[in-house]
Amino acid sequence: MRNQFTFYKSFDDVIEDLTDKQIAEYMKVMLDVQFLRLKIEDVKFDDKILAIVWKSQKHSIEKSVQGYLDGQKREGIKNPYLGVYAETKTPYEGGRQQEEEQEKEKEEGKGEEQEKGQYVTASAPASEIKEIISHLNEVTNSHYKQNASKTKTLIQARLKEGYTVDDFKKVHIAKYSEWVNTDFEKFLRPETLYSNKFESYLNQKISDYDKTKAIANHTGVSQLQLLKQQGCAV
């Protein structure tokens, strides 16, 4: 059975002005959906305010649940809602996801070891590093520092390989649109994005629609300008 899920700040923001009774009803439904006691398509609120609140958060909740269900499917679990597990499988408790995360960490470590001795002496204009990190912070709503030595080393390594500032921006948006509101959102950071998997991230196929939707949902419509600057259709 599912034993955890990510509770986002936006979930808390939307219930601030609700009554205690409304909060209790809303949270009960959210927990029932997240822990697979209730299917999201079966959720109905008689209270119109709660219906509006639910609609505003439904996308994030649905994405969280679907990510878990996809993991269950990979583990060979036929019906997570009924708690039916294949006899040869261990009930999924994030095992597959943890393996993937650990694999990412290993890949990052390998890339960093290679880059420590190979690229430390490389240099890139401060203006390019600033532009790259500013774009990352704007897309992901983060506060990474452009003068962090590890970050500079990774950026220099990729620039030395022939990648451009625009390539970094494409990776930011591609991975953001894939990982936002999932357990992988924590990997939206320089150590992961600029690792030796940079090329595969750059060549990942993400539709302009998905990119636009992700930016709009998380940081506001004004962020669509980021896509226009890259010539994406919006």
Which structural domain range is residue 74 located in?
A: 9-82
Cα–Cα–Cα angle for 68, 205, 61, nearest 5°? 25
Domain limit, last residue, from 52, 82, 112: 82
Whether residues 27 and 61 fall in one domain: yes
pLDDT tens per residue across span 177-209:
888 888 888 999 999 999 999 999 998 877 665
Whether residues 111 and 200 fall in one domain: yes
Question: How many residues can be counted in the chain?
Answer: 234
The two structure tokens encoding residue 182? 């999932």
Strand (E) or helix (H) holding 11: helix 9-13
Q: What is the pLDDT, as a whole number, of residue 221?
A: 45
Whether residues 225 and 130 fall in one domain: yes
pLDDT tens per residue across span 69-92:
888 777 776 666 654 333 333 333
Q: Is 79 helix (H, G, I), strand (E, B) or coil?
A: strand
pLDDT averaged over every residue in the chain: 76
* Residue 87 in domain: no
Among 44, 63, 29, which Cα is nearest to 218's? 63
Domain count along the chain: 2
* Residue 1 in domain: no
